[in-house]
Amino acid sequence: MLIGLVAAVAVLGGGGWATQQAVTVAQGPAGQKLWIALGAMAAVGLVVGLVVAGRVSPLATFLPSMALLAWTVVYALDMNRALSFVPDEPSMHQIVREAGAGARLLLTSGVLALLGVALFVPVLMPSRWQRRQDDYDGEDYEESPQEKSYY
Once rounded to an integer, what is the mean pLDDT over residues 114-137? Answer: 79
pLDDT at position 90: 83
Cα Rg of the chain, angstroms: 21
pLDDT of 133 over the 80 cut: no
| Whole-prediction pTM | 0.75
pLDDT above 80 (res 146):
no
- The torsion angles phi and psi of 144, rounded to 5 degrees, stand at -80, 160
How far apart are the C-alpha atoms of 36 and 42, rounded to whole Å? 10
Provide the pLDDT for residue 74. 95
Closest alpha carbon to 17 in 92, 120, 118, 123: 92
Q: pLDDT tens, 75-96?
A: 999 999 999 988 888 888 988 9
Helix (H) or strand (E) holding 52: helix 32-53
